């Protein structure tokens, strides 16, 4: 019988994490399970920073960005001593199950903690990057894409007015999911992602061809982890050969904040509830995700080992639509 569960958010925050916390707390309440919030991710687990969460504590939270619990990237958790301390604190807090909301780093920590402490752990995918196998989308991805598209719409106005080329950098340290969705939805002329080698000569030629065909303004979306470098580097390398006025805009952490989209709130509500159910039904070591509208559970390791394929066909579609 589960009496008390812990919940934490860890790694980069994303819109919808609060909606997931709310869903965890209120679903747990429906089973008469107590919820202990752990502040600042694994750092708070090590430093014993906790807060009791009840249905009223999570009122007015569904629409807020950030995370009520705070988050951190915790190096100590990667050490044997850190893991031991975390396991001891789990015992101290009287937690029978733990729900971790975050990305692959969060799940690696969760897997190790489960191995060392024996506590049951369930993961909820919360990262704007959408780089986890086992779910069509991660919580925060849709909101981040919408925020970036809104920014691109604005950039387009000024790009058109001045007949300029804009390099717009979006997040995605290792993967191009955000860049691809943002580029297609924002009507970009080129999209550079880490998964596809960037040929700067070809990029320069395509920009010049578009100019020759009468297109006076262009938007190139660059994933921050692109193999050719960051947006400023790429602009620098290409700039002189372009014979076109250009500017660079790095959207950065703007993409991580703000109210979650309706889609992220829905996803967070479904997955937060599913995580509690998984614990109640005795499961551990898995991430809950949504694939084709169905809740699925994927072993932690698979979420980062199995490659989530980027739909590169969309790059061709973008090219066709950008002519
Ligand atoms: O993992 C999410 C993410 O937003 C990445 O896209 C980005 O590279 C990174 O976090 C930024 O991390 P930090 O919050 O440490 O600046």
Distance CA 68, CA 312 (A): 36
In this model, does residue 274 exceed pLDDT 80? Answer: yes
Which ligand 1 atom is nearest residue 131's CA? 1
Catalytic residue among 34, 129, 226, 264: 129
Place of tokens 């950065």: 252
pTM score: 0.97
Residues of the chain with CATH 3.40.50.450: 4-140+260-305
| First vs last C-alpha separation in the chain | 61
Residues of the chain with CATH 3.40.50.460: 144-256
Which ligand 1 atom is nearest residue 224's CA? 8
- Beta strands (DSSP E) in the chain are 4-9, 34-38, 50-53, 97-102, 120-125, 165-170, 190-192, 218-223, 246-250, 286-291, 294-299
How much distance in Å is there from the Cα of 12 to the middle of ligand 1? Answer: 6
Distance CA 112, CA 253 (A): 29
Query: Where is pLDDT greater, at 4 or 1?
Result: 4
Report whether residue 12 contacts ligand 1, using a CB cutoff of 6 Å.
yes
The third-level CATH classification (topology) of the domain covering 4-140+260-305 is Rossmann fold (3.40.50)
Distance CA 113, CA 123 (A): 12
Please report how the helices 231-239 and 200-212 are oriented relative to each other, as an axis angle in degrees rounded to 10.
70
The third-level CATH classification (topology) of the domain covering 144-256 is Rossmann fold (3.40.50)
In this model, does residue 240 exceed pLDDT 80? Answer: no
Q: How far are the Cα atoms of 48, 101, 292, 318 from residue 84, in angstroms, in the given order?
A: 14, 21, 38, 50
How much distance in Å is there from the Cα of 263 to the middle of ligand 1? Answer: 21
Round the average pLDDT of the chain to a whole number and report it.
Answer: 96
Burial class (CB in 10 A: 0-12, 13-18, 19+), 283: middle
> Is residue 278 very low, low, confident or very high in pLDDT (cuts 50, 70, 90)?
very high
Query: Over the stretch 84-140, which tens digit does the pLDDT of each residue have?
Result: 999 999 999 999 999 999 999 999 999 999 999 999 999 999 999 999 999 999 999
Query: Over the stretch 125-184, which tens digit does the pLDDT of each residue have?
Result: 999 999 999 999 999 999 999 999 999 999 999 999 999 999 999 999 999 999 999 999
Q: Is 129 a catalytic residue?
A: yes
Place of tokens 């687990």: 45
Distance CA 245, CA 300 (A): 47
In this model, does residue 78 exceed pLDDT 90? Answer: yes
Mean pLDDT within 300-309 = 97
Which ligand 1 atom is nearest residue 172's CA? 6
Whether the CB-CB separation of 145 and 319 falls below 8 Å is answered with no
């Amino acid at each position: 019988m589960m009496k008390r569960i812990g919940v934490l958010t860890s790694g980069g925050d994303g819109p919808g994490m609060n909606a997931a916390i709310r869903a965890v707390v209120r679903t747990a309440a429906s089973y008469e399970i107590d919820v202990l919030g752990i502040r600042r991710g694994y750092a708070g687990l090590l430093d014993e920073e906790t807060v009791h969460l009840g249905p009223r504590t999570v009122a007015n939270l569904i629409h807020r960005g950030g995370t009520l619990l705070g988050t951190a990237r915790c190096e100590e958790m990667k050490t044997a001593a850190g893991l031991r301390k975390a396991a001891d604190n789990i015992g101290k807090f009287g937690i029978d199950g733990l729900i971790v909301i975050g990305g692959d780093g969060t799940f690696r920590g969760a897997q190790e903690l489960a191995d060392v402490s024996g506590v049951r752990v369930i993961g909820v995918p919360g990262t704007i990057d959408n780089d986890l196998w086992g779910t069509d989308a991660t919580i925060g991805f849709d909101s981040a894409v919408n925020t970036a598209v809104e920014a691109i719409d604005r950039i387009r106005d000024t790009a058109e007015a001045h007949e300029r080329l804009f390099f717009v950098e979006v997040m995605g340290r290792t993967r191009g999911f955000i860049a691809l969705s943002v580029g297609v939805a924002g009507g970009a002329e080129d999209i550079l992602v880490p998964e596809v080698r960037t040929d700067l000569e070809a990029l320069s030629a395509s920009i010049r061809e578009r100019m020759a065909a009468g297109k006076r303004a262009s938007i190139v979306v660059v994933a921050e982890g692109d193999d050719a470098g960051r947006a400023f580097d790429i602009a620098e390398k290409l700039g002189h050969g372009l014979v076109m006025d250009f500017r660079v805009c790095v959207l950065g952490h703007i993409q991580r904040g703000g109210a979650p989209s309706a889609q992220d709130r829905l996803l967070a509500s479904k997955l937060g509830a599913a995580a509690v159910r998984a614990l109640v039904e005795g499961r551990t070591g898995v991430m809950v995700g949504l694939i084709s509208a169905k809740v699925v559970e994927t072993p932690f390791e698979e979420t980062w080992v199995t490659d989530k394929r980027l739909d590169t066909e969309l790059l061709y579609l973008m090219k066709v639509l950008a002519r």
